[in-house]
């Protein structure tokens, strides 16, 4: 688990995992993008959505939009490696409430 990140519900957010710092062994490379997942998923039109995901070299990148104010999501990335291992990293993402002046309210 990587920690918690904060996102504005109206903005787009890009997040990257560098697998060299997150579990690759010597001489090991990322060869399979097994995807990003978001939990919980529901039919709410404001639910957090993954709009783009890419793997380049040893980095996995995701771009997200939306999210319901105050909701906490678990974002997980999974990759396969040249040593036939499956690696996962997860982060907790909290959607901040926008205050009246447009600033994020981090007190939720």
CATH number assigned to the domain comprising residue 41:
2.60.40.10
Sign of CA dihedral 40, 46, 48, 49: positive
Q: Would you say residue 20 lies in a domain?
A: yes
Q: What is the CB-side half-sphere exposure of residue 4 using CA atoms within 13 A? A: 8
Q: Would you say residue 40 lies in a domain?
A: yes
The tally of domains found in the chain comes to 1
Domain coverage including residue 8: 4-98
Residue 107: its pLDDT value, please?
44
Q: Provide the whole-model pTM.
A: 0.81
User: Of 72, 87, 64, 82, whose CA–CA distance to 18 is shortest?
Assistant: 87
Residue 33: its pLDDT value, please?
92
Residue 85: its pLDDT value, please?
96
| Mean pLDDT, the chain cut into blocks of 10 residues (108 residues total) | 81 94 91 93 84 92 93 95 95 80 47
- Measured CA to CA, the distance from residue 37 to residue 59 in angstroms comes to 16
Tell me the three state secondary structure of residue 8.
coil
Q: Would you say residue 106 lies in a domain?
A: no
């Amino acid at each position: 688990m990587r920690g918690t990140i904060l996102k504005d519900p109206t903005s787009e957010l890009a997040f990257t995992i560098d697998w060299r710092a997150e579990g690759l062994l010597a001489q090991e490379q990322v060869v399979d993008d097994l995807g990003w997942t978001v939990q919980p998923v529901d039919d709410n039109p404001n639910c957090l959505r993954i709009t783009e995901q890419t793997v380049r070299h040893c980095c996995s990148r995701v771009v997200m939009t939306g999210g319901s104010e105050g909701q906490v999501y678990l974002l997980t990335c999974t990759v396969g490696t040249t040593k036939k291992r499956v690696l996962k990293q997860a982060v907790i993402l909290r959607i901040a409430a926008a205050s009246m002046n447009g600033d994020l309210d981090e007190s939720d």
